[in-house]
């Protein structure tokens, strides 16, 4: 790894980076609980998409299509906001159980 890293003389002045680098930074491994999305129960209200602080609800053609687990930190806001009753369309499951 260290061979690939740049020396100080090669770095841009002022630690400037290209835009949008957060996308390349996988924050998903911080997660200890994982949102499980149930396509059949989902009513496509998009509340999870509105509330997700990490833009991790994947939308395709205006509809929820899954969760970006590379960036989801597992905060559980999507599950808390999901209005579907009695069983929500998004539920949080421990990463330990999944493994």
Q: Using the rule CB under 8 A, is 8 a contact of other proteins?
A: yes
Q: Using CA atoms, how far apart are residues 48 and 92, in angstroms rounded to an integer?
A: 13
What does the alpha-carbon distance between residue 34 and residue 67 come to, in Å, rounded to a whole number? 10
For residue 15, state whether it binds other proteins (rule: CB under 8 A). yes
13/98 with CB nearer other proteins: 13
Give the binding range for other proteins (CB under 8 A) out of 19-27, 47-55, 82-90, 91-99: 19-27
Establish if 17 lies at the interface with other proteins (CB under 8 A): yes
- Compute CA distances 21 → 4, 8, 49, 54, 72, whole Å: 18, 20, 21, 14, 16
Segment near other proteins (CB under 8 A); pick from 4-12, 36-44, 70-78, 90-98: 4-12
CA nearest to 89, candidates 77, 97, 79, 74:
79
Smaller CB distance to other proteins: residue 22 or 80?
22
């Amino acid at each position: 790894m260290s061979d690939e890293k740049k020396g100080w003389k090669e770095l841009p002045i002022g630690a400037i980076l290209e835009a949008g680098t957060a996308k390349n930074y996988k924050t998903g491994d911080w997660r200890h609980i994982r949102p499980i999305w149930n396509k059949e129960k989902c009513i496509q209200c998009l509340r999870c998409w509105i509330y997700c602080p990490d833009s991790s609800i994947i939308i395709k053609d205006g509809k929820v299509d899954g969760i970006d687990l590379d960036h989801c930190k597992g905060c559980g806001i999507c599950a808390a906001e999901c209005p579907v009753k009695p069983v929500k369309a998004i539920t949080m499951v421990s990463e330990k159980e999944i493994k």
